[in-house]
Structure 1
Amino acid sequence: MTSTLMKSVTTVLPQAGETISQVSFSWYDYSLFCVMLSLSAFIGIYFGCFGTKQSSANEYLMGDKKMKIFPISVSLIASHVSGVTLLAIPADIYRFGAGFWLMVPILVIMSAVIIYVYLPVFYKLQITSTYEYLERRFDSTNRVFASFLFTLGLFLYLPIIIYLPALALSAATGLNIHYITPVVCGVCIFYTTLGGLKAVVWTDTLQFTITTGALFTVTVIGIRSAGGVGAIWNKALEGDRLDIFDFDPDPTRRDTFWIVLVGTSVFWLSMAGIHQSCVQKYLSVPTFNQSRLTVVFFTIGLMIVTSCSVFIGLTMYARYADCDPFTTGAVKKNDQLLPYFIMDVASHIPGLSGLFIAGIFCAALSTLSACLNCVAGTMYEDFVLKVTGPIDDDKRAAYILKLLVVIVGVLCTLLVFVVERLGGILPLVVSLGGLTSGPLLGMFTLGILFPKATSKGVLYGSIIGMLFASWIVVMAQYYKAQGLLVDVARPISVQGCLVNRTTPVPPMTSFNTIISMTNITYSQEFGQGEFEEPEKFKPFFLFRISFYYYAPLACLVTIVAGLLISYTLGSDDPPVQRDLLSPVIHFMLSDDHQDQKTKDYYSLDKALHLVATNSDKEKNPMSINS
């Protein structure tokens, strides 16, 4: 029996993988893809070369505060529906189960927190860079460090966003990923540079329409190919993919209920509550009520898209439950699974494969363009102006912003060639995100909710939080590279691949069974007795915790260390102004806070930076309420 099984593993399975159809792009697919890129470029040309031509920093970054709820909401959804959502999440669901779906109810809770805790402060201050808040609440050093964390986080995140759709297109067309990446990213850099926030928002609207259409079309076709919703549900139950209410408190597990609940709560709050790309769009609508509505619509849309991605992962499992494409060698990487699935089930519909790959690229370009626009604003406000001083010429300011977009876009494109050498995308995104998002959320939370937090406490606390998270992430990645930390996938099978084969194969429940039986066979044939795997070295406990916990731990360490340092060192900071604290804690404020007047600062009409000397301020102060 074991020799027969060994022959199955070494001969039959690779042959089974070869028999699965491989479909390439047709001219319909190429045409749809090129039309999408051309329309995106045209929108950038329109907003950059006609009308006001985005000739001021205020218009370039904030859309002149005249944007509408619908395009802003769609743009927010589109900028968060990246290749991670469309490629990495379904593949993760296929291999590890549907635990990630718990993010959907978490979105509702976190959105309420954003609307009532964070958004009122940001909207009242009307700032271009969210990190300007930290300067007003604490000092310029905190602002610069927060801007550094944000910029670092985007440089870690954007190459991944670019890499995923390039990998999908490469798998579908056979084109070299090194040629695809510069061309497509060049189009995105072009329209973002020319058109500013308006081009970003309207290209996001166009691209999200394409992405959504492709996503729902593929979902319907996938359901039919898998035998219907009932069949998908039953297969998922049998394959242990729906075990999402696992209340095991062990933090070293990959994705139990508590791990996903805590991890995605902090990660989502840092991404949507304080992230520059989101806050910048919240503030681009005329009124606060409209700003709150954008958060609501944004949340609803993201819940729908996330649920679709999870369901597509379950659909792929139902399709390949008895013939795993990883085992047969048809798919080499997690992030190639969905393109493989699309080419497999939709190849008979001309243009659909191209539409979906275009949709994946649309999602990536939406995220890339939004982040390029906001990181340019952050670098301009928090780094360039620190060196050059106030820039009175609006056109000159706009040119500097456009140059920053080009520089950042080119650097992120080059970093793609580093990302392709790393491991699974979803764990990578969450892990690297924890390095910066956790300390950043801790800094803003200390400022908005803790009146006693001081400048020194927040700065040192955030540095400690970042170093702590970096230590865990770097060591965990090291041990993973050494093979000492491995995520164990749910059961898989290849029995269905061998149904029509003449070589008999004993029943099996999982590929792990094949491997273990193969090891026994090898040992017995060479007279080594029963195979015994030596006990492996166990890394330190913190290096084995789930990657979902990195951001919460970094945030917690930042808050605790910040408060301890604040109370220990004391402070010479002036009393905190009421408008710098969240309305939810106003009832706790003392009379000292009640009597504080809002700090004077300049309005958005002059590109949201200081345009006068200190003497000018005394003669003509301008408050945010003017």
Structure 2
Amino acid sequence: MTSTLMESVTTLLPQAGEAISQVSFSWYDYILFCVMLSLSAFIGIYFGCFGTKQSSANEYLMGDKKMKVFPISVSLIASHVSGITLLAIPADIYRYGASFWLIVPALVVISACTIFVYLPVFHKLQVTSTYEYLERRFDSTNRVFASFLFTLGLFLYLPIIIYLPALAFSTATGLNIHYITPVVCGVCIFYTTLGGLKAVVWTDTLQFTITTGALFVVTVIGIRSAGGVGAIWNKALEGDRLDIFDFDPDPTKRDTFWIVIVGTSVYWLSMAGIHQSCVQKYLSVPTLNQSRLTVVYFAVGLMIVTSCSVFIGLTMYARYADCDPFTTGAVKKNDQLLPYFIMDVASHIPGLSGLFIAGIFCAALSTSSAFLNCVAGTLYEDFVLKVTGPIDDDKRAAYILKFLVCIVGVLCTLLVFIVERLGGILPLAVSLSGVTAGPLLGMFTLGILFPKATSKGVLYGSIIGMLFSSWIILMTQYYKAQGILVDVARPTSVQGCLVNRTTPAPLMTTITSITNITYSHEFGQEDFEEPEKYTPFILFRISFYYYTPVAFLVTIVAGLLISYTLGSDDPPVHRDLLSPVIHFMLSDDHQEQKTKEYYSVDKALHLVTTNMEKDDCDKIKT
């Protein structure tokens, strides 16, 4: 009897899922989607072919340091509101609860650390590449290794960003994801290559406007479809989706209060505090106060968008609390849930589904274009110039940067076809960041806050941090692939799948009787006794939110131990290379020390020809 019932569950529930929602893009949706892509491409053409044409490296990468606070702030928000924010987070909230919302209070700490600890140092030095700081503070080897970590991190992250909107569009239209990805990536590469930072900033502004507008409209429609805010809140409480204040210190849980607060704080500090894509934009405005203001606007924007994404996840749960689309088979992957929800509740409004899918693409395009622009700058400054030496021809430098954007974009597009086989996107994105983000944040923190940190200590410490986090992540992924480690989702139901649906009567009767069965561990224990499972080492069971903090702490501890053990022959550190928050601790000797010079003669000559102020040049001539 049991086997018959289970066979009915596996065959009839998918039929119910297919009967629930059969909707697709209309011609209105396709028009809106194509208009969005066309506008993005036009902005790239405008900045690349008219006006100054982004003819110098400084203008291409930094907007000639004359950008305004508002567009830069919007660009910062847009470039970090990716498909992960719009697709992966709501799906994660639906399945595992709203703990991710705790990033909102964490952003207060993150923005304060950025404004008072890291930003003053970068603004004082006016570096094109943040990794230039590491060369001034330590040596060229540290700079090259940091640039390697940054580039590796983007190659791990960008394919995820590109994959998500392509998956959403494929879910909405039925088109093959392998055809969608190259087209959309081509548009992003095109306008980023032609227009440089100005095109990135203004397309980000356009795309963020579309994204937030679509997000707002869909949120309103979702609330109505779920029965109102009160109904959403009550169902979330009943379904255990609002249990976010779990103060259990156990690091092996998925998302307790401490895990999310600590994990997201360190992860986002590595983005907002020292990441090239952010610092590059902070420094594109004229003054330090304006840079600080962009950080504040950036944090507030992220708080609002993240809260909306969390609420959409709760709205989806309220909508499907009694008819889980995963159980019915209507949705196969976590990241298909939101497109399914949009097509379900908004398909009756012409063009709205297309607008929202376009908004998801906008978020991905803005993130991808920002990262393509800054990785081109990093490769140019830290690798190309090491080979070619200083490039005096501005047009030649700009052409090299555009070529780098094309190469990186094509490689990331190819990597998308690997990402689609790696499982849930939010855990994957946060996990992979631990390989590079933790060690990078550790390197900058050692340089900015620890005057006694040495070149060897920081280099070896960051290598140890990278290898340690890679070991944990690889072993964890292995155990997950073997089915030994499994994230247990919060409870769902399919008992209400047939309410107000058009499922045929015979199917309705059969499924109603089947869904009265309780699916639990007790049900399985009637047939067989579950064998004792192997328990991996505790480091392989910690929450994926902890990977970046662990790598960060290992880098700091190892870096300091090696620095004190091996000693140092480094020159004294100038106070400009240290954060203002520790200036009161410095000895009088630091007041008189000159900034440590570059070890590379070619780099020093490059700085003389490109960055020295006019009065310094006059002194040299005399």
Please, what TM-score do these two structures have when normalized by structure 2? 0.94
Aligned match of 2:207: 207
**Partner residue in 1 for 2:136:** 136
- CA shift at 1:79, angstroms? 0.2
d(CA) in 2 for partners of 1:61, 1:199: 11
Residue deviations 1:564-617 (CA, integer Å, cap 9, x gap): 00000000001100100000000000011121234579xxxx99943559xx99
Letter in 2 for 1:535: E
For residue 246 of structure 1, what is the aligned residue in structure 2?
A: 246
How far did residue 180 of structure 1 move?
A: 0.4
Partner of 1:148: 148
Q: Is the 2:390–2:605 Cα contact (8 Å) retained in structure 1?
A: no
Aligned residues: 606
Alignment match, 1:548: 545
Give the residue type in structure 2 aligned to 1:225.
Answer: S
- d(CA) in 2 for partners of 1:195, 1:533: 60
Post-superposition shift, 1:18? 1.8
Stretches of 4+ aligned residues off by more than 6 angstroms: none
1:225-256 C-alpha deviation (Å, 9 max, x unpaired): 00000000000000000000001111000000
Select which of 589, 593, 601 maps to 1:592.
589
Partner of 2:161: 161
CA distance in 2, matches of 1:203, 1:424: 29
Indicate whether 1:532 and 2:537 are aligned: no
Within 1, Cα distance between the matches of 2:226 and 2:8? Answer: 26
Range 537-546 or range 333-342, more displaced: 537-546
Residue equivalent to 1:289: 289
Once the two structures are overlaid, the 10-residue window that deviates more, 590-599 or 482-491, is: 590-599
> Structure 1: any 5+ residue segments left out of the alignment?
524-530
- Cα distance in 2 for partners of 1:142, 1:46 equals 38
Out of 500, 510, 514, the position equivalent to 1:503 is 510
- The structure 1 residue matched to 2:576, chosen from 558, 575, 579, is 579
**In the alignment, residue 257 of structure 2 is paired with which amino acid?**
F
Q: Distance in 2 between matches of 1:281 and 1:508?
A: 54
Does the aligned pair in 2 maintain the 1:331–1:340 contact within 8 Å?
yes
Once residues 55 and 553 of structure 2 are traced to their aligned partners in structure 1, the CA distance between those partners, rounded to angstroms, is 42
Match of 1:316 in 2: 316
Secondary structure of 2:534's aligned partner: coil
Q: Deviations over 1:290-313 (max 9, x none)?
A: 100000001111100000000000
**Alpha-carbon spacing, 1:505–1:278, altered in 2? closer, same or farther (3 Å):** same
For 1:584 and 1:563, how far apart are their aligned partners in 2?
A: 19
Are residue 514 (structure 1) and residue 548 (structure 2) matched? Answer: no
Secondary structure of the residue aligned to 2:510 is coil
Q: Is the 8 A contact 2:44 2:191 kept in 1?
A: yes
Cα RMSD over matched residues?
A: 2.1
1:9 CA displacement: 1.3
For 2:296 and 2:30, the matched residues in 1 are separated by: 36
- Residue matched to 1:32: 32
The residue that corresponds to 1:526 in the other structure is none
How far apart in 2 are the matches of 1:116 and 1:6?
Answer: 60
SS in structure 2 opposite 1:502?
helix
CA distance in 2 between counterparts of 1:608 and 1:445 reads: 28
Q: CA deviation at 1:503?
A: 2.6
Q: 1:16 Cα deviation (Å)?
A: 1.4
User: Offset of 1:12 from its aligned partner?
Assistant: 3.1
Seen in structure 2, the aligned counterparts of structure 1 residues 539 and 329 have a Cα distance that, compared at 3 Å, is same
Corresponding residue of 2:343: 343
8 Å contact 1:434–1:554 — kept in the other structure?
yes
Within 2, Cα distance between the matches of 1:12 and 1:410? 43
Per-residue deviation, 1:109 = 1.1
Q: Matches of 2:278 and 2:203 in 1, distance apart? A: 16
Structure 1 residue 14, shift from structure 2 partner: 2.0
Q: Secondary structure at the match of 1:202?
A: helix
Q: What fraction of aligned residue pairs are identical, expressed as a percent?
A: 87
- Relative to structure 2, which stretch is displaced further, 2-11 or 411-420? 2-11
**In structure 2, what is the Cα distance between the partners aligned to 1:12 and 1:518?**
19
1:3 shift after superposition: 6.7
CA distance in 2, matches of 1:450, 1:255: 32
1:342–1:353: 8 Å Cα contact kept in structure 2?
A: yes
Distance in 2 separating the partners of 1:54 and 1:411: 24
Q: Say if 2:186 is the partner of 1:186.
A: yes
Measured after TM superposition, the shift of residue 10 of structure 1 is 3.1
Equivalent residue for 1:410? Answer: 410
Structure 1 counterpart of 2:401, one-letter code: L
* Aligned amino acid, residue 66 of structure 1: K
Q: Within 1, Cα distance between the matches of 2:564 and 2:338? A: 52
The Cα offsets for residues 480-532 of structure 1, whole Å up to 9 and x where unpaired, read as 000000000000101112557223746969x9x426466456x3xxxxxxx11
Q: Is the 8 A contact 2:136 2:597 kept in 1?
A: no
Partner of 1:117: 117
Q: How far apart in 2 are the matches of 1:359 and 1:110? A: 27
Contact 1:92 1:313 in 2 (8 A): yes
Find the partner of 1:566 among 563, 567, 571: 563
Structure 2 counterpart of 1:206, one-letter code: L
CA–CA distance in 2 between the matches of 1:538 and 1:367? 39
**8 Å CA contact retained: 1:5, 1:506:** no
Q: TM-score, normalised by structure 1?
A: 0.94
Report the residue type matching 2:68 in the other structure.
Answer: K
Q: Which amino acid aligns with 2:509?
A: T
Residue identity in the other structure for 1:503: T
Shift of 1:622: 9.2
Asked whether the 8 Å contact 1:185–1:413 carries over to 2, the reply is: yes
The equivalent residue for 2:107 is 107
The Cα offsets for residues 415-439 of structure 1, whole Å up to 9 and x where unpaired, read as 0001011110000000000110000
Aligned to 1:265: 265
2-structure distance, mates of 1:139, 1:81: 34
Q: Whole-Å Cα distance in 2 between the matches of residues 6 and 470 of structure 1?
A: 41
Call closer, same or farther: CA 1:241–1:622 in 2, change over 3 Å. Answer: farther
Structure 2's unaligned 5+ residue stretches are: 500-504
Answer yes or no: is 1:363 the counterpart of 2:363.
yes
